Structure 1
Amino acid sequence: MASSWVHSSVLLCLLAATYLPPRLIRGLGPGSVAVYTLAMNAFFLWELSKGPGWALPAGIAVSVLCAGVGRRYDASRIGRLDPPGLRALVAAAAASDGAAWIGLSVLPTGVLMVTAADAFEASALRQYRVLPGAECRFCLVEEQLRALLGERPELLAEYRAGLGAGTSGHVMIRRPSGSEPWAGRLRERSAYRVPPRRVPCDTHDPVVGPR
């Protein structure tokens, strides 16, 4: 009886710990985090169902509590911008005289995720959301690309080719120092599918297809 209680308690602690690693490991996309969390939850809840009667309800409660805490943590560390705020952020980066980094990607929810840093260190990293609104999010990405890089038809064509294939690439623009030019590249994000609901756009509707 005591060993069963100890075993279930250990499983509850491990269940809570499954919510921690995705927030510590950089580079995991939202799809990977979701699959990891669901798989670990299913495994631990199945194991808890074999224990004392209180173990499974306690596991469900721990899972819900940790998910809520995780959402509040994410919301507290990710700021919110409107399109004018995004343009001001990019303009400030362009006017700075040091290293800078800007990342832009439209998520399947229609949110434009923005990553900004004024140094290539994890502590300098800031994240923002530009929520869906009246302006096309793909146009916003391309506008910021032009603001920092000028006309880059090859990068623009690569970005739109990804949109045409149904994926929203991650545009990464960086400048190692104030004396060096901005450089940009596209990082593939196969898990970032083009949002099914979008505002009408004469530029991107022909590329992405019907909404």
Structure 2
Amino acid sequence: MNPVIHLAISDEIATWYDQIGPWLFYGVVWGLVFAGTGLFVGAFVPFVTGDSLVFAAGLVAAGSAGTAAEVNIWVMAIGVGVAAWLGDQVGYALGRHFGRPYLDKREGKWLRSAIAKSEAFYNAWGWWAVVISRFMPWARVIVPAIAGISRMNYYKFFSANLVGALTWGTGLTVTGYFAASIPAVKNASYAIAFFFILASLVAGFRAWMKNRAA
């Protein structure tokens, strides 16, 4: 996503805090993160339920620090991670119990293309696909359902989802916080996010190569 557009959306999301206050802000952020994958809302508004949302939540937490209406960064960050994990668990359950017919009912050329790419991505990466997909807007919505359709072992999905959701949710929210509160980090915030993605890709590639060798 273009960094300028990303920041514009983040700034818009940050204005919600002024309108609804800290407690509703927690609920709205967590609810949207959950709905992004649990209810497939992210297929239609990926940036308002994804990276921009949680990055902006970190910005708001930094801006409200020390005020009477403070948004606690650790409450927000851990809550985002939990909401992301729960959303993926629901996506997996829908895929496992309702399967292909559910996804086939979804309309739109973009979504059908995303489903095809997600299937190929899942088949290539397996366990790591669930982890890495959290950092990819088109994949984070579909991969949990694809894992359910493929009847991926529940405990493997559970662990992969836990790693991906907490790393993405907590990590990106905290990055937003430090991007606002520490000037030196602000310019490097996207590099930090890129590092998380690159590390996941490298680890996933190594695991895939080992699986092929085995």
* Pairwise same-fold verdict (TM > 0.5): no
For CA contacts below 8 A with separation 6 or more, give which structure has more relative contact order: 2
Flag the structure with higher strand content: 1
Larger Rg computed on CA atoms: 1
